[in-house]
Each structure stands twice: as C-alpha cells, then as structure tokens.
Amino acid sequence: MIRVVLPAHLRTLAHVDGEVQLEVKGVATQRSILDALEARYPMLCGTIRDHVTQQRRPFIRFFACEQDWSNESPDTPLPELVATGVEPFLVVGAVAGG
Amino acid sequence: MTPPNPGTELSPQEIARYSRHLIMPEVALDGQKRLKAAKVLLIGAGGLGSPLGLYLAAAGVGRLGIVDFDVVDFSNLQRQVLHTTHDVGRRKLDSAAEHLHAINPEIEIETHEARISSANAMDLIRPYDIVIDGTDNFPTRYLVNDACVLLGKPNIYGSIFRFDGQASVFAPPAGPCYRCLFPEPPPPGLVPSCAEGGVLGILPGIIGCIQATEAIKLILGKGEPLIGRMLLFDALRMKFREIQVRRDPNCPLCGENPTITELIDYEQFCGIRGDEVSGPQLGSQWETTVEAVKARLDSGDDFDILDVRNPEEWQICHIAGAKLIPVADLPARVHELDSAREIAVHCKTGARSAKAVAFLREAGFRKIKNVRGGIIEWAHKIDPSMPTY
Ligand SMILES: [Zn+2]
C-alpha cells in the first residue's frame, strides 16, 4: 500500500478527502505511482504530468521522506519507507492565496 | 540584517512594553533595539497581512511598511482580523494603520497605497530590510520574488488555500527562490483562488504567524530560519510536514546564468489576458443579460436556466427554477440537458458559465447563452434581497 498526498485542488478534482492509498504493481517509482494514480483517477491525467510528454508540470513538485524527487529519474526506486506506506509520496502544487 | 544604529535607544515606556522580550537571552536589549531599527515591508493587508501586522507591530518592529490598494469588505472579516465591522468600506491601509497604532504607538507605520507592479516594486521594496509576501495571486507572487532577488532582500513567503498552507523563506544564495521551486505558474483557472475556492478563516492566522516568527528571527539573527525548507500545513489533519527545497542552478533568476535581470510583465508571464478573468470570449450571440432573463421569466417564456456553480454556492442563493450542474460535472452530466431547448447558463460572475457555454457549444448545443455578470449581477440588478458572497 502506497500513500499519496495530493494538493487541495487535485483532491477536489478527484473527489477524495484525505490521502489516496494505492496498490502499485512492481517497484515503487514515481512513474509507477503516478500511473496507478491516473488509472484510478483518470481526471488527474494532465494535471500532474503533461498529457503528451509525461513530464512533471512546472508548478508541481514531488517529495518523499522530506527530500525533493522532482528532478530524479521517474524510474528510480523510491525510499523503502514510501514503498511500504510508512511515509507518503507528496505531490506539492503551487498555491497563491493570501 | 542591518545592526541597530548605535543611537537606537529604548524609552522607559518601551522597556516596560517589551519586558517579556528583554528578559529572554535570545532577544534582550540588543535584540529589541534590532527590532526597533528594522524596516519590514508587508505586501498586502489581507488574510496573511493581518496577523503579520498585528504581531510585528506588537513586537516593536520599528518601521512597518504596508502596501495595499483594497477596501475592507464584509467578506474579508472572517479572516482579516486587522479590520473590524466598523471598517467596512474604508481603505485597508487606513484601518490597518489605525489598529496597529492603537496596539503600538511607538512604531512607524508607512502606508503605500498602490497595486504593486513592475513599475513601482523596486522603489517600494528598496528601503526595507525584509519583505513579507501576503499577496493573493500568482503574478504578484512572481513579481515580489523577482524584485526581492534582484534587490537581495529576503522574502518571507506564505500561501494558503482552503485548509492547506505553505511557508518558507526565500533568500538566495542561502536557499532557493520561488522560481527555483515553481519555474512557471499553473495556467489560469487550474488552481482556484481563495475567492473562488474558499479558505478556512484561521489558516492565514497560522501561516501569517509563522511568517512573522521568521521575520523576527531574521532580524534578531537567532535560530534556524526556514531557508531551504518549506513547511506544509494541513489543518484538516492538523499536520505539519517539512520538505527540503533546493536552489536550481538553472533558475532563470537566481541561477548561474540568469536570463531575468529586470522585472517583466507578470500578467503576461502568468498567461492572464483580459478574457481569462471573465472566461472565454464567446461573441454576443452567445450572451445574454440578467435583465433579458428576468423579462423572459416575467413574460412566461419557455426556457431553461442552468446554474454551473458548486452546491455550496447554490445553498447561499439561487434563481428559482434553475437546474444545478457544477461546471466540473458537466461533461459527465451533459445528457441531462436538452439541446433542443433554449438554455441560459449562469455562475457567480460569468467566467465559469462562459466555459460551460463554450463546452456545450462544442457538444452541439446551439440555443445556449451565457448570462453576463452571473448571479451577483442578478442580485444587484434584479433581486437586491438575495444574499451574495
Ligand atoms: Zn531561483
């Protein structure tokens, strides 16, 4: 079980309240997590990764165990703590409210 | 941080006022003099600006500048605790200056009535030591970031939406700037503003107090500033998380080969054209007015009214007989509409309904019209008894 924390506007879009829990096949990587997330919540396609290039969008970043994974390869295995659901995979988005 | 000018002294009244600071070794007389000598600029006297102003004034920050151009509205009072019911309709700057002076008459409050822009940002920021970003939109966030980096001023950042908040201190080269994290803003309309999506009234209190704490620490030169780290706050789960944020060597502003060396056009950078705020341009044959809708209702015409707001907004007010389908649900529920019938589509002010009309037009609807100004216009012109939000 992998836990994913989404920014508020994407939780609204996906109609979820808190964290998302996902079963991910194979090794937990950014790609496998995001693929599983988009398969379960198709409305999130294009909001985190570009529809066409599958690149992270520039107003979104990824974190695992407090560290920034945004510029790592999407196929690098994530820390064991994320793979085992102890720590969540964080999708952090830019917000501007004040 | 500028050390206090050797002439900075505290009066007996000030010593009494700041005594709980003065007895702490991290502040003491020297630190309180530093606070008195400090010059801090608050950009925005709204949700974040309220706790910032209140606590920084109370703490004795000697010169507090405030930039704002807005007027106090009833809808501000749920979170902007710097203003009271009596202040509705006043300039926020006047209300802020009055209340902050009442808290601490020993400090100087400098009010700058302006919408911060590429034309005035450098001059506004230059005289201050620290900038605190309490603005509420992406173009101004990038503007404040860029001006602070270009002038070498620390930018104490806080941002809020619904139950979530973020705070950090951007101070290259010690840590990243905002552009290192988010080199581009979301396209307009993707991430709602607090005005569109709402915000828990307490949230700016929490995030603003974190920003105020960071400002005091920077002035005192004590503790570990929130540089290179960002705090994420989730009020629903009552959870703080810390994430490491790093400089991007390729940052166009603070990187090794910067391409942004002066302020740019931030509305254009954020993709905001005139029609983004009001929704897509539809052409007059696709639009109608609240007066026309009212006249048709009065004459008993047979047509439908479609409200594309959210159910929470519908509960506040709606037009009798309208059908509710939130704009986000429209693709899945379009079959509930009859394309043979005439449909007047409205939202709060006309932008979401313009998107809905554009979508329905693509789906083959031809007898649809966007109601300009939405239900707010309806409340102003047709039914003043209707509550608005
Ligand atoms: Zn940067």
B7 located within any domain: no
B249 and B140 together in one domain: yes
Q: Is the pTM of this model over 0.90?
A: no
Report CA B360 to chain centroid distance, whole Å: 32
pLDDT at B6: 57
B310 and B261 together in one domain: no
From the number of C-beta atoms within 10 Å of its C-beta (0-12, 13-18, 19+), residue B67 rates as buried
Fold of A2-93: Ubiquitin-like (UB roll) (3.10.20)
Q: Which two tokens stand for residue B234?
A: 């989730």
Neighbours of B201 (CB within 10 A): 13
Higher pLDDT, B261 or B7: B261
B196 touches chain A (CB under 8 A): no
Rounded alpha-carbon distances, angstroms, from residue B205 to A79, B243, B307? 35, 21, 34
The answer for residues whose C-beta is within 8 angstroms of residue B371's C-beta and 6 or more apart is B287, B288, B289, B290, B293, B344, B345, B346, B350, B353, B377, B378
B269 and B209 together in one domain: yes
A95 and B184: CB-CB below 8 Å?
A: no
A90 and B181: CB-CB below 8 Å?
A: no
Q: Which two tokens stand for residue B86?
A: 């009596």
Q: What is the pLDDT of residues B307-338, one digit of tens each?
A: 999 999 999 999 999 999 999 889 999 999 99
B389 located within any domain: no
The range of the structural domain enclosing residue B289 comes to: 279-381
pLDDT at B275: 43
Q: What is the pLDDT of residues B144-162, one digit of tens each?
A: 999 999 999 999 999 999 9
Q: Is the pLDDT of residue B255 over 70?
A: yes
Map out the domains of chain A as residue ranges. Answer: 2-93
pLDDT at B278: 58
Burial annotation A74-90 (CB, 10 A radius, 16+ → b, else e):
beeebeeebbeeebbbb
Q: Determine the distance separating the centroid of ligand 1 and the alpha carbon of A22, expressed in angstroms.
A: 34
Instruction: Using pLDDT thresholds of 50, 70 and 90, give the confidence band for residue B5.
Output: low
B218 and B304 together in one domain: no
B71 and B154 together in one domain: yes
B171 and B292 together in one domain: no
Q: Are B76 and B83 in contact (CB under 8 A)?
A: yes
B31 and B131 together in one domain: yes
Q: Is the pLDDT of residue A84 over 60?
A: yes
Of B276, B301, B335, the residue that ends a domain is B276
**B positions 136-175 inside 8 Å of A (CB):** 136-138, 140-141, 158-164, 166
Q: Determine the distance separating the centroid of ligand 1 and the alpha carbon of B83, expressed in angstroms.
A: 35
Q: Which two tokens stand for residue B363?
A: 């789906």
Q: Which two tokens stand for residue A9?
A: 């506007």
B83 and B222 together in one domain: yes
Rounded alpha-carbon distances, angstroms, from residue A82 to A3, A19, B65, B95, B333? 7, 13, 45, 49, 37
B37 and B174 together in one domain: yes
B136 and A97: CB-CB below 8 Å?
A: yes
B84 located within any domain: yes
Higher pLDDT, B11 or B280: B11
User: How far, in Å, CA of A34 to CA of A13, rounded?
Assistant: 16
Strands A60-64 and A67-68, by their bridges, are antiparallel
Domain count, chain B: 2
**B positions 216-245 inside 8 Å of A (CB):** 230, 232, 236-237, 241-245
B138 and B190 together in one domain: yes
Q: Which one of A5, A86, A95 makes the best mutation probe of the B interface by having the most chain B beta carbons within 10 Å?
A: A95
> Looking at residue B254, which CATH number applies to its domain?
3.40.50.720
pLDDT at B194: 85
Of B276, B293, B318, the residue that ends a domain is B276
Q: What is the pLDDT of residues B8-43, one digit of tens each?
A: 899 999 999 999 999 999 999 999 999 999 999 999
Q: In this structure, is the dihedral angle defined by the CA atoms of residues B175, B61, B200 and B380, taken in order, positive or negative?
A: negative
What ipTM, to 2 d.p.?
0.95
User: How far, in Å, CA of A76 to CA of A84, rounded?
Assistant: 16
Q: Which residue of B has its CA nearest to A13?
A: B328
Is the N-terminal amide bond of B183 cis, ω within 30° of 0?
A: no
Rounded alpha-carbon distances, angstroms, from residue B136 to A96, B168, B170, B199, B237? 5, 16, 17, 12, 24
B5 located within any domain: no
Nearest Cα to Cα of residue B350 among B288, B278, B292: B278
B210 and B86 together in one domain: yes
B73 and B206 together in one domain: yes
Task: Please count the CA atoms within 13 angstroms of the CA of B359 that sit on its side-chain side.
Answer: 19
B138 and A94: CB-CB below 8 Å?
A: yes
Mean pLDDT over B76-95 rounds to 98
